[in-house]
Structure 1
Amino acid sequence: MFKTMKECTEFIFTLKAVDHKREPLVLMREVLALLNNPQDKLRTIHLAGSNGKGSTVNALREMLQHAGYKVGAFTSPHLERVNERMTINGLQISDTQFLHYMNKVAEIIETHYGGEFPSFFEVVTLIMFQYFADQDVDIALIETGLGGRLDATNVITPLISIITTISLEHTAFLGDTLAKVAFEKAGIIKEGVPVIVGVKSDTALTVIREVALKRHAPCLVLGEDFTVENAIQGTNMQHFHYQKANVEMADVSLKMAGSHQIDNASLAITAILTLRENRAINISDEAVRQALANAQWAGRFEQLPGNIVLDGAHNSEGTAALIQTLKTVYPNQNYRFIYAALSDKDHTNSIALMDTVATSIAFTQIDLPNAMHAEKLATLSTNTNIAFNENWKELVQTVLHQKDAQDIVVITGSLYFIAEVRQWLQGERK
């Protein structure tokens, strides 16, 4: 049994999905049954997608909280501590509660499975379901970890499903075409449950529509069944016009920057309005508006003092959105990129996109087994001003020291990298 959070987290971080060859979801369902199926006691919203899940969850949480609901949110990855992955009304699960639920899982694994633990993500998912059920949350917002069809979270029948975007990622697991990735993400669509879709690729959309049709799930698509127009980006706030059938919301204010965040907000609005139409929740248009004007999400175009931007753009779709936002918010300044990423990502396209706008680009790496080497990343860039250093703290200090008043330092790539830099910068500022 685990007595301290340090002992517990050190153990669960060693658990890898590849170490076990069980049929997907079988162990999840068996263990949940032994825990009296806490997932069946929850009203949920289920989210899958390559980018935008966290921001969409954040918008949904703000709206529902504003309307007085007790909202659980299960997100990944964490930026500083694993407790961040499960929050209720923004407050993280306590160490005591985490250990309590972890030990219940550990007892079952020891007793029924000879101590052969499932993956890290399956373990934290099992903890989350118990915690949210015991705390009697009104609605739980649940992000998939990887894909959807075989994801550990895909044991729920939600009130509504959301698929944010589709891009090539985790190709070893999800497939090497947009159609294959879309099929995996569409695995969260349940019989008769509405699905809200922000996907723009025709190839991916065709697959999602086919799955929705087969499962008799109403499918609402951004740009068709609901629209956003008249977007205006200011320095601290952007505004847009939203419409869905006979519902119109003019001049909606959004704190988060970037046109992709307007898309994410529109998915959240559509989910809320659909739940309201289905009488699953009671919420006013005003609550929606006020929530979006306040919603923030750490590590997503997060602007820090000293002209530093942190953004976890971990694939080429995210990088394109980041660059578009930079051009809108800081149109006349130089961009000095610092990039570190994991080896299973589409680096070539992401780096090519940064090369088109970067005054300089510096590569580094983080201490993870699947981190891409800094020198290898550097060989993919055609920029005339390239640097690389395996020690990310040294590299960040060097770039910050070299920058002048017209430079924006953009720290991007893996969210694990963003998390480490963010924590370190906060410590440096203190």
Structure 2
Amino acid sequence: MSYACVLERLEHRGSFESTAAPRDLSKLEGIKTLLHDLGHPEQAFQVVHVAGTNGKGLTSTMTAWLLQHEGFRTGCYTSPHLEDIRERITLDGEWVAQESFARHAETVLDLSESYGDAPYLSYFDLLTATALLAFQDAGCQWVVLETGIGGRADSTNVTDKALTLLTRVGLDHQAVLGDTLEQIAAEKLGITRPGVPLVSAEQAPELMPWLEHECQILDVSLTCTTTLPLTETDGLSSLHWPDGDRLALPGKAPSPPWLECFRISLLALELLFPKGTAVRSSRVDAIWNTRLPGRLDHRKSVQLGNWRFAEVVLDGGHNPDSLGALANQLQQWKISGYTLIVGMASDKLVDAVHVPLQTLVGQAQQTLVVPIPSPRTATPEVLVQFLSNPELPKASPPFSQREAGEDSPVEGFPDLNAALAQAGQQLEDPLVITGSFYLVGEVLRLTEGSST
């Protein structure tokens, strides 16, 4: 079966990612049955499992690079994808081949369809099984698995594991995971196993005592990135290891969120394969230039459709912490007076996201609101209302476009191209695009000849 046909079959199955409807978090019978009937591909390699709210993809990618640097055949499974579904499944840093993806996905789809209506299998279940088959077929020795949502009942939480990693926990997916940081963190801690170490980012001050207590109860050894502090002297940055070793960094870290992922990954490899100064230095060099598109992604001279913008920042931030990090990073980069294009899923418009969004809007010369290419999109009408009102958005009257010459800081557009046409009137002003990975993916499909 062709790659295109397999993609069409997958899309017909629907997905939690496209609906964001709450599900029963206690059920993993579907993926477990599927993997059993596939011969347990998840048992063919060792696993590092990554959960958290923000930074999971970068942490997973860095950890996979470090395992490859150690000489292991390494797979990495992340989500979401921006342009091509094969971004989710990499083998030694390269996307899985179309032929391999199609072959394994067809096997998974055929088997799942033979079950009828039970057990239930989601789109993410099917992709996860496809990835595990691809990793087994490629002879992977280590695999890094990023959770989709939560952890305890996530499709990826069906393997034994050698190590677990927890990135920063924040408010997101509250309808599924809970309304408080502790409730959300409890779901994410569901990836842990007794006796299996956990490396964690430094969490919010109110969460750290709870996390330490829970790890004691779960018999999980906790290592926090606070054990690998960073100092700056005369403009030079250094990491200080718990054993007293001091390691100078090659330069300035691109952002605080990047640095936290960097430290988690280094500590992960230190726990798995303790080494001395020379190896630590080579590990730093191996991942120092690791970046992911669409995450605090700063580019110069970017062609978007018919317009070449002098400076563009792309970020898929869609929750309070990630949007706040974007606002802080723009300040660090001394970027203001920009055109802001925002599109978000309707379920992301919660009270806590209003403040960082208002911060971004307040530094913009103009804010252009667009729908995202997802059934979950907030309409421009609703998002404009949300930006002017701290209450959760409700159905609003039909939105009227701004009249020519009328001065308004926030304006709705029917699609991205219409917003770019407006932004294109100020090509020398910075352009910041945020609110959703769906929107960032749509933008990336328009890029030509841009330099990061």
TM-score normalized with structure 1 length: 0.89
- Report if the CA contact (8 A) 1:196-1:220 is conserved: yes
- Shift of residue 247, structure 1, vs aligned partner: 4.8
**Candidates 185, 188, 192, aligned match of 1:185:** 188
Number of aligned positions between the proteins: 416
1:228 aligns with 2:230: yes
Give the alignment of 1:47-196 within 5 angstroms.
Answer: 47-113=50-116, 118-196=121-199
**Percent of matched pairs sharing the same residue:** 24
Give the alignment of 1:23-38 within 5 angstroms.
Answer: 24-38=27-41
Distance 1:99 1:39 in 2: 19
- Shift of residue 332, structure 1, vs aligned partner: 5.8
1:348 aligns with 2:354: yes
Distance 1:375 1:232 in 2: 50
- Report if the CA contact (8 A) 1:163-1:199 is conserved: no
Q: Secondary structure at the match of 1:262?
A: helix
TM-score normalized with structure 2 length: 0.85
- CA RMSD, 1 decimal: 2.7
- Shift of residue 21, structure 1, vs aligned partner: 6.7
- Report if the CA contact (8 A) 2:50-2:167 is conserved: yes
Q: Secondary structure at the match of 1:61?
A: helix
- Amino acid of the residue matched to residue 112 of structure 2? I
- Shift of residue 142, structure 1, vs aligned partner: 0.7
**Candidates 24, 39, 45, aligned match of 1:42:** 45
Q: Deviations for 1:255-281, whole angstroms, at most 9, x for unmatched residues?
A: 86211111111111111111113x9x9
- Shift of residue 172, structure 1, vs aligned partner: 0.8
- Amino acid of the residue matched to residue 260 of structure 2? D
Structure 1 residue aligned with 2:404: none
> Which deviates more, 337-346 or 166-175?
337-346
> Which deviates more, 127-136 or 21-30?
21-30
Structure 1 residue aligned with 2:221: 218
- Structure 2 residue ranges without an equivalent (≥5): 302-309, 390-407
- Report if the CA contact (8 A) 2:77-2:146 is conserved: yes
Distance 2:430 2:271 in 1: 40
> Which deviates more, 242-251 or 418-427?
242-251
Describe the shift of the 1:77–1:291 C-alpha distance in structure 2 as closer, same or farther (beyond 3 A).
Answer: same
Q: Deviations for 1:275-330, whole angstroms, at most 9, x for unmatched residues?
A: 113x9x9991132121233212111122222211111112110111112211112x
- Report if the CA contact (8 A) 2:230-2:237 is conserved: yes
> Which deviates more, 64-73 or 337-346?
64-73
- Structure 1 residue ranges without an equivalent (≥5): 234-238
- Shift of residue 215, structure 1, vs aligned partner: 2.2
Distance 2:341 2:233 in 1: 29
Distance 1:173 1:361 in 2: 30
Describe the shift of the 1:240–1:416 C-alpha distance in structure 2 as closer, same or farther (beyond 3 A).
Answer: farther
Structure 1 residue aligned with 2:243: 246
1:292 aligns with 2:287: yes
- Amino acid of the residue matched to residue 409 of structure 2? N
Q: Deviations for 1:205-243, whole angstroms, at most 9, x for unmatched residues?
A: 3443233212211101222x332232999xxxxx63222
Q: Secondary structure at the match of 2:203?
A: coil
**Candidates 405, 408, 416, aligned match of 2:438:** 416
- Amino acid of the residue matched to residue 424 of structure 1? L
Describe the shift of the 1:109–1:348 C-alpha distance in structure 2 as closer, same or farther (beyond 3 A).
Answer: same
**Candidates 5, 8, 16, aligned match of 2:6:** 8
Q: Secondary structure at the match of 1:210?
A: helix
Distance 1:332 1:338 in 2: 15
- Amino acid of the residue matched to residue 281 of structure 2? E
1:357 aligns with 2:360: no
- Shift of residue 23, structure 1, vs aligned partner: 5.3
Structure 2 residue aligned with 1:236: none
